[in-house]
Structure 1
Amino acid sequence: MYSKEEASKLRQQFWITFGKYMKPILSAEGLPINWVNYKTGVKNVFFKMNAEQKYATISIAITHADFATRTLFFEQFIAFKNLFNDAINEQWEWEPNAVDEYGVTLSKISKTITHVTAFNQQDWPKIISFLKPRIIALDQFWTDVKPVFEDLG
């Protein structure tokens, strides 16, 4: 078991490594991008990646506090589900009313792998191989649909 400090350092080192690995890859628009802290440019819509003790996950989190607005955004993602599936090329979990680790209700579209840990460097290639193609595909998808979400805001 790791102390909080050790766990924090390992997690931080993983994300530094992932960031260095992704740095040469340009966005779908051909621009340099910070893949680790992906900015969607739309308020309350986030692309999140987590690598924890027993799993890694990538998700779209819709965090509007207003239920009706959050629902509207989630329904718009559903309207783009075929385009999303074509870009991602796999099935993700769609949760209109998920709860995050802080007890906050949000809408979430996500994919998770289990039996990996950010605390074991031998798992890092597997985690990176999981996250890399998915964040790149999300970026391509987002390039195509972002204007619609900007108009919803």
Structure 2
Amino acid sequence: MYSKDQASKLKQAFWTAFGQYIAPQLSAEGLRVNWVNYKTGIKHLHFKLHADKKSAFIGIELSHPDTGVQELLFEQFKEFRNILNGYLNEDWEWQLHMTDENHKIVSRIFTTLPDVSVFKEEDWPKLISFFKPRIIALDEFWCDAAQSFEVFK
């Protein structure tokens, strides 16, 4: 078991390592991107990467405090489901109105990698191999789809 400080330092070390690893990768538009804190340009719409002691996930998170607006965003993504799946080359889970780790109502489109721990450095290559192609695919998708979400700015 790690102290809070040790756990925080290990997580920070992983995200720093991942950020450095993926930093040379340019966006679909040929720009430098902060991949770990990807900016969609739409408030309450994030590409989220998360890893803890049991698993990891990457996804699109809709966190608008108005659940009606959240549902509209979710429906807009449903219109793009086939296109999104084409970029990802896999089907992700779709959850409307779930409770996140901070007890807030969010909606997510995501995929999970089970049985890995951000606290085990030997799992870091698996985590990086999981996150990298998917965040790049999300960026490519977003490059094509972002205009359709401008109404939510």
TM-score (norm 1): 0.98
Following superposition of structure 1 onto structure 2, how do residues 19-38 of structure 1 map, counting pairs within 5 Å? 19-38=19-38
Task: Measure how far apart 1:98 and its partner are.
Answer: 1.1
Task: Measure how far apart 1:43 and its partner are.
Answer: 0.8
Name the residue aligned to 1:143.
143
Paired with 2:64 and 2:38, the residues of 1 have a C-alpha distance of 18
Task: Measure how far apart 1:152 and its partner are.
Answer: 3.4
More deviation in 74-83 or 61-70?
Answer: 61-70
TM-score (norm 2): 0.98
Name the residue aligned to 2:40.
40
**Alignment gaps of 5+ in structure 1:** none
What RMSD over aligned residues (CA atoms) do the two structures have, in Å?
0.7
Counterpart residue type for residue 109 of structure 2: I
Paired with 1:81 and 1:8, the residues of 2 have a C-alpha distance of 35
* Alpha-carbon displacement from aligned partner over 1:81-139 (angstroms, at most 9, x marks no partner): 00000000101100011111111111111111111101011000000000000000000
Paired with 1:64 and 1:77, the residues of 2 have a C-alpha distance of 14
Paired with 1:16 and 1:102, the residues of 2 have a C-alpha distance of 23
Counterpart residue type for residue 125 of structure 1: P
Name the residue aligned to 1:123.
123
Say if 2:75 is the partner of 1:79: no
Runs of 4+ residues deviating >2 angstroms: none
Paired with 2:65 and 2:152, the residues of 1 have a C-alpha distance of 15
Paired with 1:4 and 1:152, the residues of 2 have a C-alpha distance of 37
Counterpart residue type for residue 24 of structure 1: P
Paired with 1:22 and 1:152, the residues of 2 have a C-alpha distance of 29
Name the residue aligned to 1:49.
49
Name the residue aligned to 2:96.
96
Following superposition of structure 1 onto structure 2, how do residues 50-69 of structure 1 map, counting pairs within 5 Å? 50-69=50-69
**Alignment gaps of 5+ in structure 2:** none
Task: Measure how far apart 1:151 and its partner are.
Answer: 2.1
Counterpart residue type for residue 115 of structure 1: D
Paired with 1:98 and 1:60, the residues of 2 have a C-alpha distance of 13
Q: Is the 8 A contact 2:97 2:106 kept in 1?
A: yes
* Alpha-carbon displacement from aligned partner over 1:11-36 (angstroms, at most 9, x marks no partner): 00000000000010000000011101
